[in-house]
Structures are given as structure tokens and as C-alpha cells.
Amino acid sequence: MEKNNSRLFLLCFLGMLTAFGPFVTDMYLPTLPDMTNSFMTTSSMVQLGLTTSMIGLAVGQLLFGPLSDKYGRRSPLMVAMVLFLLSTLGCIFSKTILQFAFWRFVQGMSGAGGIVISRSVAADKFTGKDLAKTLALIGAINGVAPVTAPIIGGVLAETTGWKGIFWILFVLGVVLLLASICFSETYPKRNRQNMNWFELLRTFRLVIRNRSYVCYVLQFGFAQGVLFANIASAPFIMQQHYGFSPMMFSICFGINALVIVLSSASAVRFSHPENALYSGSRGMFFVAVFLFLALILDCSFWIYEIFLVGLLFMLGLTFTASNTLALDCERDNSGTASALLGALGFAFGGLVSPIVGLGNMLVSTGFVFLVGSGGAYVCARLALNRPFLLARYYKKS
């Protein structure tokens, strides 16, 4: 008899898998100066490891998504975890920065397997409001993990150094591998796509022909761009511009992360995910307009923080809703759909991170907030086919 995963096990397991990618990417950031001395290289070469891991996270989701549709969730997940352990050891024992950058790409790619498969498992096990609740948890973790990972890494860096952080990631990988062994398959063989590799790749074309799905994914991508713009800019704005200490910066960062968690969880209180997506996207755009004006006028910290909290709250609403709606409308190809969703999110995040550092950071950050929020708002309207004036009368068809 096939055993089933308990709901508690699934929620804990999916939460850990969701946080995996951001922790792989961001946890070692505070140790970059130490790595410059360790590898006897420049800071730009050390940052190459961050770039390659982001590329790996995007590519890995495009790989493991279709694999999970063809072979089920459990086997590709175990392969990803074993690959993660090997690549983490490769990072620790790298002799040159180029070796380290290569293993970071492999590490990011394997970490992506956990992210994409976690969303696919949620779509396998839950539907409707239950799916929205599960993805609310995933969305909350996905929002808070990129923010908290550097803070945790900063605390650990003082005692463990950069290699110690990677040993901690290795232990986390061991825990997830053991959990993967205990994990029961959620995608039965009768539902799997029995096709060759060429046909499997064609599923990408089928998925992107779904207009609603594409709009939901683009909305999520723009929203991710806003999130990563905040992550990239906040340390400089709070510490260099407003003169905060690292400790005060960590406290503010933690509060902002909590806002995303609460808003992601509250999204399920809407009668339909469509309403949460539209309300969140619209609110995010209007708050971004005021935040942009405040930043270019060199506002006080409290004005900046109040508008930023409002922006992040609206952002959390859209994370839950966009993930739910995107996977719901491509349930037959949920692995591939989840892969494209995650890959585009990291692609947007990797694109905007260096942009906020161009010129005056207050102006460039406000501009990215405005463009990202505006793009998310337009995509939400296109996905839901809501005329602006009639939006409040929309009902789920």
C-alpha cells in the first residue's frame, strides 16, 4: 500500500525546499570581503559566484521542472539534493575563484530543483483554497528568505568564516536529502508525461501559449524585481544614506521581512485569488508612485520606511495569488509551469540588482520600484481581463 505524507510533514518539507534557493544565493554575502583575501583576487571576481548561482537557479528550474513531469517528484528531488551536496563540497575545496564560480553554478542549479519541485508538489496535493493556503506559506518563505539569509550569514560569518557557512549549507542539504528519502511520491505514474526529450521540450511551447499563465508569470517576475531591488538597495540606503548601524539595519530588515510574511498569509482571506492579485498589484503601483517621489525628494527615513512597508505588504499579496493562479491554469504541466515561473522570477531579480546601483541610488531604486510595480499592475489587468472602471464588479467566472 502506498503511504501518504502527513500534512505537517509536507508543509515543513515544502517550506525548507522553498527557502533553499535564497539561502544558497544570499547566505554567504557578508563573507565576500573575506573571500577576496582567501582567493587572493578582486571583489568583482568574487561576485562572479553570486552571478553564476543566480544563473544556475534559473537554468535548474527549467531542467528539473520537466524532469519532475516525466519521472515524478521524488527521484529528481533526490538527484538535486545529491548534486547539491557534491557542489557544496566543491565550493569548500575550490583552489581558485573560477573553480568556486563553477561549483556555485552547479549549486544554484541543484538548489533550483527544490524550489520548482516544492511548487509542483503543492499543485499535486492541493486545489483551490487549500492550494492558495499552501502557496501562501511558500510565498511567505520565498519573500522572507532572501531578506533574512544575509542577516543569518552575517551573524555566522564572525565565528565560522565563509567556509563555515558552506558547511552549514552542506548540513542543510543532508537534512533535505534524508527528508527526500522519507518523502512519498505525489505524482502518480498514470499522470506522468510519457514522451521523449524532444516532446518534453515542446511542453514549454504549450505552456507559454496559455495567455493567462504568461501574464501571471510576468506579474510575478515584475514583483520579484521589486523585491530584489529592495534587497540590493536597502543596505546602502539605510546604512550609508541614513547612517544606520549594521544592527539597526538588521532590525529594520527583519521588520520588513515580517511584513511580507503577514501579507502573504493574509492573501487567503480574499474570496478569490484573482481579487488578491488585482488589489495587491494596484496597491503596489500606487504606493510605488509615492515612494518614488519621496526618494527623489530625499525624504526622511520614516517616510521611506512607511512607504516601503506598504509596498512590501502589497507585494506579499501578489506573491501568493500569482503562484496560485499560474499553477492552477496549467495543472497538467505543473512541473514545467513551475519551472518557468521560478526561472523568470530569478531572471528579473538578477536583472534589477545591479540597476539600483547606477547613479544616485535613491533615484535609481525609486525608478525600479515604479517600473516593476507598474509592470506587475499591467500584467495583472491583462491576466484577469479587468477593465479599470469595472474592476470592482469583477466576479470569478
351: closest CA among 51, 46, 44, 3? 51
- 202 domain-assigned: no
pLDDT for res 1:
37
Residue 214 and residue 104 in one domain: no
Residue 253 and residue 387 in one domain: yes
Residue 354 and residue 233 in one domain: yes
- Report the CATH number that the domain containing residue 285 is assigned in CATH: 1.20.1250.20
Among residues 194, 218, 235, the one where a domain terminates is 194
- The 3-state secondary structure of the chain reads CCCCCCHHHHHHHHHHHHHHHHHHHHCCHHHHHHHHHHHCCCHHHHCHHHHHHHHHHHHHHHHHHHHHHHHCCHHHHHHHHHHHHHHHHHHHCCCCHHHHHHHHHHHHHHHHHHHHHHHHHHHHHCCHHHHHHHHHHHHHHHHHHHHHHHHHHHHHHHHHHHHHHHHHHHHHHHHHHHHHHHCCCCCCHHHCCCCCHHHHHHHHHHHHCCHHHHHHHHHHHHHHHHHHHHHHHHHHHHHHHCCCCHHHHHHHHHHHHHHHHHHHHHHHHCCCHHHHHHHHHHHHHHHHHHHHHHHHCCCCHHHHHHHHHHHHHHHHHHHHHHHHHHHHCCHHHHHHHHHHHHHHHHHHHHHHHHHCCCCCHHHHHHHHHHHHHHHHHHHHHHHHCCCHHHHHHCCCC
Alpha-carbon distance of 319 to 223, in angstroms, equals 8
Cβ within 8 Å of residue 17, ≥6 positions away: 77, 114, 115, 117, 118, 176
Alpha-carbon distance of 154 to 172, in angstroms, equals 18
Residue 173 and residue 213 in one domain: no
pLDDT (tens digit, 0 to 9) for every residue of the chain, 397 residues total? 345 777 778 777 887 887 777 788 777 766 766 787 888 887 657 767 777 887 888 888 778 877 887 788 888 889 999 999 999 999 999 999 899 989 999 998 888 888 778 777 877 777 666 776 776 666 666 656 766 777 777 677 767 788 888 999 999 899 989 988 888 887 777 766 666 667 666 777 778 888 888 888 999 999 988 988 887 777 778 877 888 776 677 678 778 877 887 887 777 778 788 888 888 999 999 999 999 999 999 999 999 999 999 999 999 888 878 888 887 777 777 667 777 887 788 778 777 777 776 778 899 889 999 999 999 999 988 888 765 544 444 444 3
Predicted TM-score (pTM) of the model is 0.70
pLDDT for res 126:
73
- 263 domain-assigned: yes
Residue 159 and residue 229 in one domain: no
Residue 133 and residue 219 in one domain: no
User: Exposed, middle or buried by CB within 10 Å (0-12, 13-18, 19+), for 198?
Assistant: exposed
Residue 187 and residue 212 in one domain: no
- 200 domain-assigned: no
Distance of CA 52 to the CA centre of its chain: 16
Q: How many residues does the chain have?
A: 397
pLDDT for res 188:
74
Domain that residue 311 falls in: 207-397
